[in-house]
Amino acid sequence: MPEIIEVPVCGMDCAECAAHVERAIASLPGVEAVTVLLAAEKAIIRGDPSRLTPEVVRAAVEAAGYQVPATAPAPAGHGEAGAALARRALTLFGLIFGAVLFVVVVGEWLGLLATITDRAPFWIGGGLVFLAGWPVFAGVIRAALRRQVTAHTLMGLGVLAALAVGEWATAAVVVFFMRVGDWVERFTAEQARQAVRRLDALAPRMARVEREGVEVEVPIAAVRPGDVVVVRPGEQIPVDGEVIAGQATINQAAITGEPMPVEAGPGVNVFAATIAQFGSLRVRATRVGEASTFGRVVRLVEQAEAQRAGVQRLADRFAAWLLPVVVTLAVLTLLLRRDPLATAAVLVVACSCSFALATPVAVLAAIGGAARRGLLIKGGRYLEALARADVLLVDKTGTLTLGRPRITEVIALGEHNEARVLALAAAAERYSEHPLAEAVRLAAVERGLTFPAPQQFTALPGQGVRANVNGLEVAVGNARLLPPGFSVPPAAEELVAAGRTLFFVTLDGAPAAVLGAADGERPEVARALAAVRQARIGEIVILTGDSAPAAAALAERLGVAYRAELLPEDKIAIVRDYQARGHRVVMVGDGVNDAPALAQADVGVAMGVAGSDIALEAAHVALMRDDWMLLPEVLRLAQRTMRVVRFNLGFTVAYNLIGLSLAAAGLLPPVLAAAAQSLPDLGILANSARLLRLRNMPGQPI
């Protein structure tokens, strides 16, 4: 049976490195699929574990020029200190780069480089070039032996061309800027990784567990579901679990991005990586480590890199075509102009690395930064789809509304007793997770009614539930459960006019009661929808299984369209219809009964999914808390990210065209071409850093 195997990989500095590792592993027997994640520094392999031993995989990775460490890279815990160090390093690098660039430009202009070349023996200059550039040349040679082309292949040819015409000083400058380019790529990749590492650094490492009445501090890997974990004031909660004793104020920012703390006491579920600011707790663990909500968030953010945006694939194809185009242009320059220096300049000035950097840096920065604010985006393809979306479909119950409906009226039909019917309805709804089921149970408890467990229980998607309660068939749900010809009593019609949601109770197939329920709207919805419209969403539609009058009342208040009395398959059909007409569809729901529609949409957005397995898996974007203002925030973030990516790509294309034209015309000497070659990487880094530096609080404009 195929299994998923994760292998840490070190030494990758750019998307091209990850592609080389991916090809090396994919060539192994027993591999069905492989994805190499640059930011997470790991390879995720699906294949036969009996054939893919650690030794076999390590040999393939090392043959590609990279390393497999004994353990996975440790998460960075540098925080602001690490960021400050990186800023100082970048500043120092900028000063050195600027100084060297100034010397090169002025030296070329004054003819000093030619003087140095004339006076120093060629063998000394050539030796220095090969000594300084050997790490790069070795990589090019290894790639050539594997029939692969790297970003350094062009520059390596440029160095050889410069040496061939006796311009060893030019070759030395080319090598210097090749090494500069390597440093920029490593720095850029490291900055992208920091978004993931800062998240991973928040993961709990130790837990205080009760063992035989004694508190023992153990590594998190030693904690098992069912263990009782003790959390003291100011400590991090190490597991997902249920509070069984104690009271505390919990800071849940690590999960939801929400800075306001919440209160937790017995019966309340808490999450790993959150902090008990005041008070202590005893928590019975339900999920630990990677299985916890926080662990799964980190894992999904890591794997988001694999969901590449379409624009990134376009850039990859463009980069693949760049080498033959540049080599062809160099040959034409040599044949037509008979100018070896211009030919060398053409080979040197081309910037293939910048195409590889243009998209992933911006996307990883956006995804990592969003995760810290409670926005979990599963990949660049969904950022791109969000940026182009024009239709928003919204589930009603639990999404536009608070999801905590209350039974406001019980109308018994015929000779049925109101209390008895409500108790039977609560028994039938005992195992249902629907918000209306919880409302029925709560109404029965508030009236002091007791209700037994059903002997049989069946959920009827889009209709309700059916159960056997003490030999009686009890059904609770919408009008689809009613026999043909049933007419709603006048009292119930008045409830519809008041905006109540109606559902019905039948006993052995005969109508027994009408229940009226009301659910409050989320207070921020109207403001959030106005912001969504400003984000160029042209059509907003409510999709609900509720009655048409109840849906119409809400839609009118919000100024949107609606489709009512829908089954789950109806919602999927509506999503597909919009897609067939060329629209980019965003579907927002709570991830419970609308999970199939979320999966079908171009982007499925699940609201308030902390602790919800179904929603985390089904949605492409997960809002970790119930706050509608996160939706316009993620739309604006997607649009801004795509603007950064488009600028990066446009800048790179224009820069290459101008540089190649000047070099081919003999207007750009090889030494200046070498200096110019590194500038696009710096420009892309600076432009993408605007996303890396985002500091907005949740709900604020980006």
Q: Is 649 strand, coil or helix?
A: helix
Asked if 406 and 439 count as a contact pair (C-beta separation under 8 A), the reply is yes
DSSP 593-614: TTHHHHHHSSEEEEES-TT-HH
Q: Which two tokens stand for residue 12?
A: 């990758």
Rounded Cα–Cα distance for residues 213 and 405 (Å): 42
Please confirm, yes or no, whether 395 is among the known catalytic residues: yes
Residue 239, judged by CB atoms within 10 A of its CB (0-12, 13-18, 19+), counts as: buried
Asked if 285 and 240 count as a contact pair (C-beta separation under 8 A), the reply is yes
Rounded Cα–Cα distance for residues 501 and 494 (Å): 11
Rounded Cα–Cα distance for residues 209 and 222 (Å): 10
Asked if 444 and 477 count as a contact pair (C-beta separation under 8 A), the reply is no
| Measured CA angle at 249 (ends 248, 251), to 5 deg | 130
Q: Are strands 539-543 and 275-287 parallel, antiparallel or unpaired?
A: unpaired
Q: Which of 13, 395, 546, 602 is catalytic?
A: 395
**Element housing 408 (H / E):** strand 406-412
Q: Roughly what angle, to the nearest 10 degrees, separates helices 630-664 and 679-692? A: 170
Asked if 478 and 472 count as a contact pair (C-beta separation under 8 A), the reply is no
Rounded Cα–Cα distance for residues 628 and 685 (Å): 32
Q: Which residue has the tokens 């004994």?
A: 70
Q: Is 474 strand, coil or helix?
A: strand
The total number of residues shown for the chain amounts to 702
Q: Which two tokens stand for residue 278?
A: 């005041």
C-alpha distance from residue 474 to each of 359, 428, 464, 483 (Å): 57, 6, 11, 14
Rounded Cα–Cα distance for residues 657 and 294 (Å): 46
**Residues classed as catalytic:** 395
